[in-house]
Structures are given as structure tokens and as C-alpha cells.
Structure 1
């Protein structure tokens, strides 16, 4: 039997929204990959093309659908930063089945990362964050490839790192690097999903090529301070998870051409006051 025939033979019916959908259990997906399929990603793609949903995506099915899941598996997203925001972004995009992630971060885990960085553990202090992102993704979804770069983003390397991507996600923690990222994404014609956190507050905005983007938020631009109020307020555990979740939603919306991105709008989240506001940045 060819791969599709084997997938059909090992699929089963699952309840969904009062009806049913044919799914491929994770155990069968892994077995097919071990038995000679080109890769776990090819197993998932072959299943989707045959109208069979990899069971791991059943809870996304109503929102994403078969065609949308195939789109995600073929997509590439660059995540710049693998710390507080970036770790959660890698986690969620991997679980959603975005097929290729480019992760760039030159930092290594320190004790003070343990309070909020998903990828930091007591056992990997001193390890490169980008490599930890790659390892975590491999544990979650073998169909997702993580290209990890233990490097700091610079004006010299940014375009090379970002070029394969369809969407870029800003998980950085300093303004100079954010402006380098915005410039590079704009030159490559790529949308950039910005996120920033400080204390109980966070913000999210999606910047398309040609938009003023960060210049609207930081009038001092690249000549401004390296870091802002987060130096004093720190970042409690839940804040990066809150903002990263919104960044992932924006990324998925862009890839699937769904909904309205936060373009020229800033989502401002204040967990302390229990408020969420969308601020219009341009008339």
C-alpha cells in the first residue's frame, strides 16, 4: 500500500460538533513515520490532502479546517527572541502545526528567567535559548522544523535570517533591535507582529511593510533608550504568556487570511486594572 492507503487504513472516526470527522491518531502518525514515510510532516500533509485530520489538530478544526491546517504546515514564521515572549510563541505555533520556525536568540538561560520563561528549567540553566526552543518543539510535534540560530539580530544578519519567512514575530526586549527588525521585515515585504511587556501590562501591534509601526509608539526611535519601564516593573509569570498568545493569534490570522490584523492599532492589555483597549494610531 502507498502512504495514503496506509493512512486511510489506520484512521478512525471521531466525534465533532454533533457529527464526525476522520482522524489519524498520533500513535499511527508516529508509526507511519517510523515505517518509512519521508517525514512526520509528510504523513500529516498526506492525511490532510486525503481529507483526514491528524487527531492532534481536532480542537483547532472548527477554526482552521483541513485546508487551513495544510496552509499552516507549509508556512514559515521567524521568531526573534526565545525568552519570555518567544518561548510561548514557539510553544503555541508548534502546537498549531506551523511547519517551519526560524528562531534567533544569542542569549542563554539564567536563574532569573525561571519565573516567566516557559523554556527555562532548573536543568538547562546556561543553555542557549534558541536550542531549547528547537528541542521543545521536537517533543511536541515532529512535523515542525525549528531552525535555531544562537546569534543576536544585527543589521548585517537580519535579512538572511528573515528571508524564508512569511511572517516575523518580535519577541525582543530592547528598542534598537526592534527597529533593526522592523527595517529588515519591511525591506523584505514581511508583516511583523510586535509585542512588548512590562509588569502587568503588555501591548501588541501588527506592522505591514510601509507602515510607520514602531515610529508611532517610540517617537525617539532608534535613538531612544535601550529598555523602558520593564527594567523597574519586571515581568511576572503571566504577562509574557498573555501577550505571546495575542501575537500568535495575529500570526495565525495573517497566515490564514482571517479576521482583521491589529494594523495601525495597538492592543493595550492591563491585567492590573483588568482592562483591554485597542488604540487607533492613525486616523
Structure 2
């Protein structure tokens, strides 16, 4: 019996159970990801995604599995980005963060806990993904993103998600994604408030991101962040990334959503497309 025959025999209707996926990996000496891809390629939905299938077809689930998302930052926003992308079934994740968990992270960063204080955020992200969806391949990088290392980090990325807290680094990320024609989903938070926008190839959202704000870090340095704001904004970012990867729906291209959870208001602002540089 080969792998495909095993998968077909173990399937229940059009679903392939997790226990059978584990047995297949052990029996044939394969990764869980390889087994998952084989099942999806032959029209079977891994049972863990069965609640996706009324929204995301088997073919689109396969596309997500074959996609590569790079998450820059694994703290307040980034932890939720990693969690949700892994559960969604995006098959290749790169998580970039130079920091370790500190006590002030415990109020809002989903990957943090008292037992993990002092641990690398990117390493903990990798352990979390291995726990919740071992079929996903994750590459943790305990480095600070910069223009100097950015091209290597973003290699083969299908989408990039911004979980940063430095305006300077954010603008470098926006600029590099524009140069490399990689879709970017921006998110920022502060107190009760947040903002989300997408930059698709050919766009430049940098003039619209922070207005007249001149400090190197965002407004969260003044307002802090409660537990719920990063969860809301990161979820909207993941929805944007999913649409971009699947080519479905209407993205936030040339518009930004401002989130005001204190008054429960969501405002849309149209962004003026930046003029193309000479030669573009």
C-alpha cells in the first residue's frame, strides 16, 4: 500500500483525520506537512480544517498550505498573527523577532506566560506552532529586521505581515516590500485604537502611515496596549493576508481602516496612491 492508497483508505468521506495523518507520516517516514499536501492534492480535506471548507475550498486550502508568510515581530500583534496563520493552514511561516519575553508582555502577548519569561519570542512561536499545527513549517529568526538583512529574510515570501513597534523599521519594511513587489499587510496599535492597511505590488503606503508623528516608536509608548486591541487588529491582518493569498474579496488597497474600540467605531480613509518613481 502506497501513501495515496493509505490516505484514501483512512479517509472518512472527503475528510482525512489527524490520527491517520500522524500514522501515515510514521509509516512512510514523511513529514506531517508532506502527508497533508498529498491529501489536499487529491481532493481530501484534513479534518482539522473541516470548519474552513464552507469558506475555503480544498483547492484553496492547498494554496494556503503552499504559501509562505513572513511575520516581522512576534509580540502583541505578531503572536496572534502566528497563532491564526498556523490554525488557518498557511504552510510556511517565517517569524522574525530579536527579543525575549519580559513581564510587561504578559498582559497582551498571547505567546507569553510567566514560565516563558526570558525565552526568545521567535523560538516560543516555533514551539507553539509545533504544538497546534505540526504540519506547518516554521522558521524562527531571533534577529532584528533591517534593510541590510531584509532581502534575505523576505526571500520567497508570498505575503508579509507587520507586527513591529518601531516606526523607523516599519518604514524600512514598507520600502523593501515595495522594491521586491511583495504584498504587505500593515497593522499598528495603541490603547483602544489600531489601524490596518495593505500595500500591494506597485503601491507605496509609507506617506500615509504615521502622518506628523515624529517619535521613533508608535503611540503605544504613551497609551500602552490592553489585551484585546492586538487580538482585533491582528485578526483583521490575517483576514487581509488570506484574501491576498487566495486572490479573493476586496483588499484594503488604497484605503486604511482605523479601529476605535473605546467608541466601537471603524472608520475607512481612502489613501491617495503615491506617484510612481521615475522609471517604474
**TM-score bracket for this pair, using the shorter chain length:** over 0.9
Matched, 1:212 2:213: no
Q: 2:115 maps to which residue? A: 123
Partners of 1:3 and 1:37 within 8 A in 2: no
Structure 1 counterpart of 2:61: 69
Tell me, which stretches of 5 or more residues in structure 1 are unaligned?
Answer: 14-21
What is residue 73 of structure 2 aligned with on the other side?
A: 81
Number of residue pairs matched by the alignment: 273
- Asked if 1:282 is matched to 2:272, the reply is yes
User: Does the 8 Å contact 1:37/1:43 carry over to 2?
Assistant: no
**Residue 219 of structure 1: how far off its partner (Å):** 4.1
| Contact 2:10 2:16 (8 Å CA) reproduced | yes
Deviates more, 1:182-191 or 1:77-86: 182-191
Q: Deviations over 1:168-202 (max 9, x none)?
A: 10000010000111111111110110000000111
Tell me, yes or no, if structure 1 residue 27 matches structure 2 residue 19.
yes
2:245 and 2:121 map into 1 onto residues whose CA distance is 25
> How far is the alpha carbon of 1:282 from its aligned partner?
2.2
Please identify runs of 4+ aligned residues in structure 1 that moved more than 3 A.
none
Aligned to 1:49: 41
2:223 is aligned, of 233, 250, 254, to 233
Measured on the aligned residues, the alpha-carbon RMSD in Å equals: 1.3
1:253-275: per-residue Cα shift (whole Å, max 9, x none)?
00000001101111111111011
Whole-angstrom distance in 2 between the partners of 1:114 and 1:55: 33
1:197 to 167, 179, 189: 189
**Corresponding position of 2:277:** none
| Alignment map for 1:149-164 (pairs within 5 Å) | 149-164=141-156
Query: Are the equivalent residues in 1 in contact too, given 2:25–2:32 (CA < 8 A)?
Result: yes
- Pairing partner for 1:135 from 127, 137, 140: 127
Match of 1:184 in 2: 176
Please tell me whether the aligned partners of residues 16 and 45 of structure 2 are also in contact (alpha carbons under 8 angstroms): yes
Q: Indicate the residue corresponding to 2:256 in structure 1.
A: 266
Q: Which residue of 1 aligns with 2:7?
A: 7
Q: Distance in 2 between matches of 1:190 and 1:228?
A: 24
Unaligned runs of 5+ in 2: 274-280
Q: Is the 8 A contact 2:178 2:204 kept in 1?
A: no
Is the 2:80–2:231 Cα contact (8 Å) retained in structure 1? yes
Corresponding residue for 1:245?
235
TM-score, with length taken from structure 1: 0.94
Q: Offset of 1:217 from its aligned partner? A: 2.5
The alignment status of 1:58 with 2:54, answered yes or no, reads no
Give the TM-score normalised by structure 2. Answer: 0.95
